Amino acid sequence: MFATCRRLGLGTVAVDTDPDADAPHVAEADARVRLPKVNDYLNTEALIAAARAAGADAVHPGYGFLSENAEFAKAVADAGLTWIGPPIDAVRAMGSKIESKKMMAAAGVPVLDELDPESVTTAQLPVLVKASSGGGGRGMRVVHELDALPSEVAAAQREAQSAFGDPTVFCERYLPTGHHVEVQVMADTHGTVWAVGERECSIQRRHQKIIEEAPSPLVERVPGMRAKLFEAARLAAGAIGYTGAGTVEFLADNDGEFYFLEMNTRLQVEHPVTEETTGLDLVELQIHVADGGRLDAEPPAAQGYSIEARLYAEDPAKDWQPQAGLVQHIDVPTARTKFATLGARTGIRLDSGIVDGSVVSIHYDPMLAKVISYAPTRHQAAMVLADALTRSRIHGVRTNRDLLVNVLRHQAFLDGATDTAFFATHDLAELARPLVDAEDIRLSAIAAALADAAHNRSTAKTSGVFGSIPSGWRNLASGYQVKTYVDDSGDEHRVEYRFTRTGLMLPGDESLQLVSASADDVVLADGSGVARRYTVNRYGQDVYVDSARGPVHLTALPRFPEPGSAVEKGSLVAPMPGNVIRLGAAIGDAVTAGQPLIWLEAMKMEHTITAPADGMLAELNVDTGHQVEVGAILARVETPEDS
C-alpha cells in the first residue's frame, strides 16, 4: 500500500508493535506510531488514537487483523477519518460467514448448507468446522469421525478467539476434491460493479492458500463457467450495496458447479496476480473509490498468466511447523519489480514483508514474502516462478521454498489438475523433499570447506611469503585437513582435502578440480571440465551454499564437542518458540507413540508435541502458561529399552 501511496504522492503512517519495530513497512512510512502491546493490532481505540496523533485523514485496513471488522470500520468513520474500504453495513453483513451465507442464498447465489455442530450426524461426515469470523485457515478443522467433533470444535473455537476475538464456529459439508475459485470485484459509489477477473487458489495447506493464479485452469477449461461466476459475484456485491475492492469466494467441482463460501470485504493477499493480468493497481483503485471517484464502464480485459507463491517460515515435512527466528539474508535476484506490476513483461515481482535482519516472531502470521510471476503462457509463468524461487537466497529460518518449487514443476500442476486435495493426492513427503540430491549436498559441503579454508587464510595473521600459502599445504605428503558438516536431514558430511604442488587433492575424487576459491565464492570443475560456482555464506555454525544446483544449508560441527551437549534419548524438543496451553499427561503416566503430550500456541495456531514412542513420561519441564524457546527440552519419554 505504501508503494502505491508514494506513486500517488500521498504521505503514509505506520503503526507497529515491538516485534515489528524493525519491519520494512515501518521504515517505508513517513511517520510511525508505536502500539504498546503485541495484540494492539486488534485494539480499535489504540489504532484510532494513532491515526489522530499522526494527523492521518484516511485508514487503509490492509488484509489482516481488523480489516473485516465492522466495529473498527465504524470507529474510523466516527473519528472523522476516511475508511478505505466497503460500506460499514457491507462489512457487517459479510463479517459472519453464517449470516452471509443466508443472505447469499436469499439473493440466489448457490451455497453449501450450514450445519449445526450439535446436530451433525454420521451420514453428514466429513464436515468442515469453520470460524464464523476472519479467514486465513484459522479456526478450521476437517472432521471424519463423529467422536472427534467436540474436541475439534473446541480447538477451532480457541483458535478463532485468539486470531479474531470471536469464538463462533459452524460446520458445512466438506468437499475433499473441490476447487477454490474466487472473483475479484471492484465497485464505485456511482453504481458500477466490476468483476475484474477470477483466481484459482486450490493449492492449500491447513485450508490456507499457498499458490494462487489467474486465470483459473478450471474456469479456462469449462465452457461458460466464467460468465456464470462473474454474474454470481456481481449479484453478491449488489445484494449488499458493495463498494471498493472485495473478493467473492466459491468452491467448485470438476464439472464447474460452484457454491458460495464467503465474501472477503478487503484486499486479498493474492491480489497481485489479478494486477499482473489486468495492469490495474487495486490499491490505487481502492483509494480512488474511497475518494468518490468513478470506474470506467468495464474493467480492462485480462491477458497472460500470473502465479503467486507465498513464502512461509515453516517446515512442510514436519506437519507445516511454523518457524521463528532471524532472517540473515533474503534476495530474489531475478525480481524486476517490488510492489508494482511488471507491465505485461515476462518476469518476477516481489512483495516482501522482510529484509536482511528481520526477525520472524511467534506472534503473527509466518508469511515472509510473495513471489509473483507473469508470462504469456501458464507453463512459462510456472517455470519462471520455480526458477526464481530456486535461485533465491534465503538464509536463516527454514521456509517452504522447496515445496513451492516442487509443486510448480509437478506434472499435475502443469496440467492444471489443481484441487484442494493436491497434497493428499500427491505424496507430500516427495513434494517437500529438498531441491538438491545427495551429490549436490556433497559438492556443496566440499565448497563450504574450501571457502572456510580461504576465509581462515584471508584472516590469518601472517605476513610475507607464508601469507599466500594455502591452509594445510605441505611440501611433503601429509595428512588431510578435515571439516565435518550436518545437513538438514541429519546426515554427516566429512570433507577431507589437502593442497599439493599440483592443486587440490580429495581422497577418492581426483577428478574434481578447484578453479578458484575465496571466502564466499568457490568454483569447482568435474572430470568433464564443466565448472560450477558455489556461493558460500556463514553465520556462526550455519553455512548456506547457493548454486544453480539448488540451495544447501549445513551446520558445521566443532572439532571438539562440549561434554554433555547431546540431547538425551526420548527428549521432546520445542520445534518453535511458543506458549504452552495444554498438557496431555503427567510425570509417571504411560504414553503411546503419537499421543499428544503438549500443546503449543504460536502464530495464532495450535501445534501438538507427541510422544516419540511407547513408554513412560519420565520428565516434564513445562506447565500451562509457560513461554518456551526453540530447542528447549520440554519433556522426556522413557521406553522399556532405556530402563
pLDDT (mean) for 385-397:
97
Give the CATH number, domain containing residue 608: 2.40.50.100
Of the listed ranges 130-134, 470-474, 569-573, the least confidently predicted one is 470-474
What are the CA-CA distances from residue 206 to residues 223, 577, 592, 631 (Å)?
31, 20, 26, 24
- Please name every residue paired with 605 in a beta bridge, in sequence order, or none if there are none: 602
- Is 259 contained in some domain? yes
Give the CATH number of the domain where residue 495 resides: 3.30.700
3-state secondary structure of 335: strand
**Domain around 606:** 571-642
Q: How confident is the model at residue 468 (pLDDT cuts 50, 70, 90)?
A: low
Q: Are residues 363 and 490 in the same domain?
A: no
616 located within any domain: yes
Q: Are residues 413 and 450 in the same domain?
A: no
Question: Domain total for the chain?
Answer: 6
Q: What pLDDT shows up at residue 9?
A: 97
Between the two ends of the chain, the Cα-to-Cα distance in Å is: 60
d(CA 62, CA 401): 25
Does residue 600 contact residue 609 with C-beta atoms inside 8 Å?
yes
- Per-residue confidence at 116, pLDDT binned at 50, 70, 90? confident
Would you place residue 212 in the very low, low, confident or very high pLDDT band (cuts 50, 70, 90)? very high
CB 570 within 8 A of CB 618: yes
Q: Which tens digits make up the pLDDT trace of 319-329? A: 888 888 899 99
Residue recorded with cell 493477499: 269
CA 155/CA 162 separation, integer angstroms: 11
Has residue 479 been placed in a domain?
yes
Residues of the chain above pLDDT 70, percent: 95
Give yes or no: residues 106 and 243 share one domain: yes
In this predicted structure, the answer to whether residue 434 has a pLDDT above a threshold of 60 is yes
Do 530 and 623 share a domain, yes or no?
no
Whether residue 410 sits in one domain with residue 327: yes
Residue 473 has pLDDT above 60, yes or no: no
Is 562 a member of any domain? no
In tens, the pLDDT along 347-369 reads 999 999 999 999 998 888 899 99
φ/ψ bin of 642: left (φ > 0), alpha (ψ from -120 to 50), beta (otherwise): alpha
pLDDT band, residue 136 (cuts 50/70/90)? low
- Summarize the confidence of residues 611-631 as an average pLDDT: 91
Final residue in a domain of this structure, among 525, 556, 587: 556
Q: How far apart are CA 190 and CA 206, in angstroms?
A: 39
For residues 195-208, give the mean pLDDT.
95
Closest CA to 570 of 598, 628, 611, 621: 611
Question: Has residue 587 got a pLDDT over 80?
Answer: yes
CB hemisphere CA count around 272 (13 angstroms): 28
- Decide if 454 contacts 518 (C-beta within 8 A): yes
pLDDT tens, 529-547? 999 999 999 999 999 999 9
pLDDT the model gives residue 578: 86
Asked if 332 and 429 sit in the same domain, the reply is yes
Q: What H or E segment, with its residue span, contains residue 523?
A: strand 521-525
Asked whether the CA dihedral 428, 429, 434, 436 is positive or negative, the reply is negative
Does 520 share its domain with 450?
A: yes
The dihedral of CA 423, 424, 427, 432: what is its sign? Answer: positive
3-state DSSP assignment of residue 47: helix
Binning pLDDT at 50, 70 and 90, where does residue 623 land?
Answer: very high
Q: Would the pTM count as exceeding 0.75?
A: yes
Q: Are residues 108 and 211 in the same domain?
A: yes
User: Is 565 contained in some domain?
Assistant: no
Mean pLDDT for 65-79 is 95
Q: How confident is the model at residue 507 (pLDDT cuts 50, 70, 90)?
A: confident
Given this model, what pLDDT does residue 99 score?
87
* 549 and 592 in a common domain: no
Q: How far apart are CA 25 and CA 41, in angstroms?
A: 14
The CA distance from 228 to 589, in Å, is 58
Alpha helices in 329-395 (DSSP H): 378-391
Output the pLDDT for position 566: 59
CB 607 within 8 A of CB 321: yes
Cell of 437: 540430491
The answer on 551 and 598 residing in a single domain is: no
d(CA 327, CA 516): 29
Do 218 and 277 lie in one domain? The reply is: yes
561: pLDDT strictly greater than 70: no
Residue 597 pLDDT: 95
DSSP string, 495-520: EEEEEETTEEE-TT-TT-EEEEE-SS
Please determine, for residue 472, whether its predicted confidence score (pLDDT) is greater than 60: no
Band (pLDDT 50/70/90 cuts) for residue 474 is: low
Q: What percent of the chain has pLDDT over 90?
A: 76
pLDDT for 363 = 86
Are 232 and 108 found together in one domain?
yes
**Residue 564 within any structural domain of the chain:** no
Is the predicted pLDDT of residue 189 greater than 70, yes or no? yes
Band (643; pLDDT cuts 50, 70, 90): low
Instruction: Find the CATH number of the domain harbouring 360.
Output: 3.30.470.20
Question: How far is 384 from 307, CA to CA, in rounded Å?
Answer: 10
CATH code, domain carrying 52: 3.40.50.20
**Residue that is last in its domain, among 303, 332, 358:** 303
Domain boundary among 44, 62, 92: 92
Question: Would you place residue 245 in the very low, low, confident or very high pLDDT band (cuts 50, 70, 90)?
Answer: very high
Residue 136 covered by a domain: yes
Residue 304, classed as helix, strand or coil, is coil
**Residue 390 CA to its chain's centroid (Å):** 16
Instruction: Evaluate whether residue 242 is within a structural domain.
Output: yes
Residue 119, CA atoms < 13 Å, CB-side half-sphere: 3
pLDDT at 520 over 70: yes
81 CB-contact burial (10 Å; exposed 0-12 / middle 13-18 / buried 19+): middle
